[in-house]
Amino acid sequence: MVGSAMTVSSRPCDRLNISGRLLRIARPRSETYEPLEDPERCLSEIRESGLRADLFSFAQRFSQPAPIYSYHCELEPTAILQIETYDKWWKQTINDKTRNMVRKAGKKGVRIELANYTDDFVRGIKQVYDECPIRQGKKSRHYGKSFEVIKSEHGTFLEQSEFIGAYVDQRMIGFAKVVFRKDFASIMNLIALLGERDKAPTNALLAKVVERCAARGIGLLHYGVWSRRGFGDFKEHHGFECRQIPRYYVPLTRRGALALRRGWHRPVGDRVPEKVADWFATMRTRWYAWRYPMK
């Protein structure tokens, strides 16, 4: 029941992403960085607009872990880092191995700097994305995108964001984008060239993100979903923990109500045993490694 996503304009929700074919689920496009504050108003506008969707789903803000709405709620595992000070994170939260990886970047000549969102920076982003079509065992959704598309996609929330670059000499080998809200920050992107991973640029980038959060007095840092697969170990080694954040589902049609009762709204991967999902993920990674070998 999972299909491609489409985007629909909507005043109270800013914009909606609608995914699925047999079951169409609408979500606020920017909910990760701009949590929905008035779901009732949004629902009213959706119903009046005649939007073709079966379910409306939205997540609660990361700083509010207890459910506050009466809609059907399910807990979503989310990667969250609690920050008091950078010094405490450096000395108490992470271990010696992780600290050594951050130090290694400096010893290998990696510079970590705040950056302006210029055309040169966008070209650096594109070079990182175009290095390899596979990331974390899956096809990269950014591989091969045009300069214009990348500039537009990464140009969101500019007034609330900071860009951080990882450089060797004058060449950008990685970058991070962080969106800051009043009570939390969220990592939108953090990625580096696979061919430069011996220099540990992602470790150094994440350390800089934590430093910037501490300097701004931000105590919660969000970094996507919590999963043992993919980037999970990296997040855990840098102090992230699994927090269960409420996600709400509201039926808009009879089909949506039935799907919610039967659990059909959940991704297929969430409805199969974990061992089976791990096996498929391993096979997929091996297939892509054979199909797209690193040069």
- Per-residue pLDDT tens digits for 224-247: 999 866 678 899 999 999 999 999
Could you tell me if 96 and 61 lie in one domain?
no
Length of the chain measured in residues: 295
Distance CA 162, CA 211 (A): 12
Residues 158 and 99 reside in one and the same domain = yes
Same domain, 48 and 138: no
**What confidence score (pLDDT) does residue 55 get?**
96
2 has a pLDDT exceeding 50: no
The domain total for the chain is 2
In a domain, 231, yes or no: no
Q: What share of the chain is helix, strand, coil (3-state, %, to 5)?
A: 40, 30, 35
Residue (of 209, 117, 129) closest to 156 by Cα position: 117
Instruction: Work out the average pLDDT over 142-159.
Output: 95
pLDDT of the residue at 13: 47
Residues 100 and 214 in one domain: yes
- Say how far apart CA 102 and CA 123 lie, in whole Å: 25
Q: What's the pLDDT score for residue 269?
A: 63
Flag whether 241 is in a domain: no
C-alpha to C-alpha distance for 40 and 61, rounded to whole angstroms: 16
Is 289 inside any structural domain?
no
Strand, coil or helix: 245: strand
Contact 223, 81 (CB under 8 A): yes
The DSSP secondary structure of 155-198, one letter per residue, reads: TTTGGGEEEEEEEETTEEEEEEEEEE-SS-EEEEEEEE-GGGGG
| CB atoms inside a 10 Å sphere around CB 23 | 20
Residue 237 lies in a domain: no
Which range of residues forms the domain containing residue 70? 6-75+246-273
Question: Per-residue pLDDT for 199 more than 60?
Answer: yes
Cα 279 → chain centroid: 24
* pLDDT of the residue at 294: 60
Q: Is residue 226 part of a domain?
A: no
One domain, residues 156 and 130: yes
Residues 12-71 have pLDDT tens digits of: 444 788 988 889 999 998 899 988 989 999 999 998 888 889 999 999 999 888 999 999
92 plus 214 within the same structural domain: yes
Separation of CA 113 from chain center: 22
**Cα–Cα separations (whole angstroms), residue 173 to 95, 103, 152, 290:** 25, 17, 21, 25
Share of the chain above pLDDT 70, in %: 85
Mean pLDDT score, 125-132 = 95
Does 139 share its domain with 20?
A: no
Do residue 67 and residue 88 come from a single domain? no
140 and 95 assigned to the same domain = yes
**Residue 234 domain-assigned?**
no
Cα dihedral sign for 10, 12, 13, 19?
Answer: negative
Structural domain includes residue 146: yes
- Kindly calculate the radius of gyration of the chain based on its CA atoms and give it in whole angstroms: 20
Q: Are residues 22 and 135 in the same domain?
A: no
Residues 164 and 212 in one domain: yes
Provide the 10 A C-beta neighbour count for residue 114.
Answer: 10
pLDDT tier at 136 (50, 70, 90 boundaries)? confident
**What does the pLDDT read at residue 184?**
96
Bridge-based pairing state of the strands 55-59 and 25-28: parallel
pTM of the model: 0.86
Q: How confident is the model at residue 89 (pLDDT cuts 50, 70, 90)?
A: very high
Burial level of 21, CB count in 10 A (0-12/13-18/19+)? exposed
Answer for the pair 113, 165: CB distance below 8 angstroms, yes or no. Answer: yes
Q: Do 213 and 91 fall into the same domain?
A: yes
Of the pLDDT bands very low, low, confident and very high (cuts 50, 70, 90), residue 271 is low
Residue 278 lies in a domain: no
CA distances, 2 to each of 43, 169, 261 (Å): 22, 44, 17
Residue 155 maps to which CATH number?
A: 3.40.630.30
